[in-house]
Amino acid sequence: MTVTELKSRLDAGEKPVVLDVREASELAIARYPMDVLHIPLGQLPNRLSEIPAGAEVVCACRSGARSAQAAAFLRQKGLKAVNLDGGILAWSRLIDPSLPAY
């Protein structure tokens, strides 16, 4: 999913679960401007129960690499999950330039 697609869906009132798989230290630099579920990628296997059953999950990170891994893992576990292409860097570039790139 592209950042513009996610923004349009959020603006339309849709509420997918946005799963941010970055480390806590990265959240201190830049945060997605919506409610997110924060589970670092390395903790995901042990914290699957925190993801609402039946939810559509949009996996997000800095650039899209870790979130692609998370989305693939979640799909293997039977969840409906997609990757946010380009991550917060794309969000900063295309949606909200006030967010710092790091």
* Catalytic annotation, residues: 61
CA atoms of 73 and 92, how far apart (whole Å): 26
- Token look-up 């513009």 returns 4
Which value, in Å, is the radius of gyration of the alpha carbons in the chain? 13
CA atoms of 31 and 63, how far apart (whole Å): 13
CA atoms of 88 and 18, how far apart (whole Å): 12
CA atoms of 52 and 85, how far apart (whole Å): 22
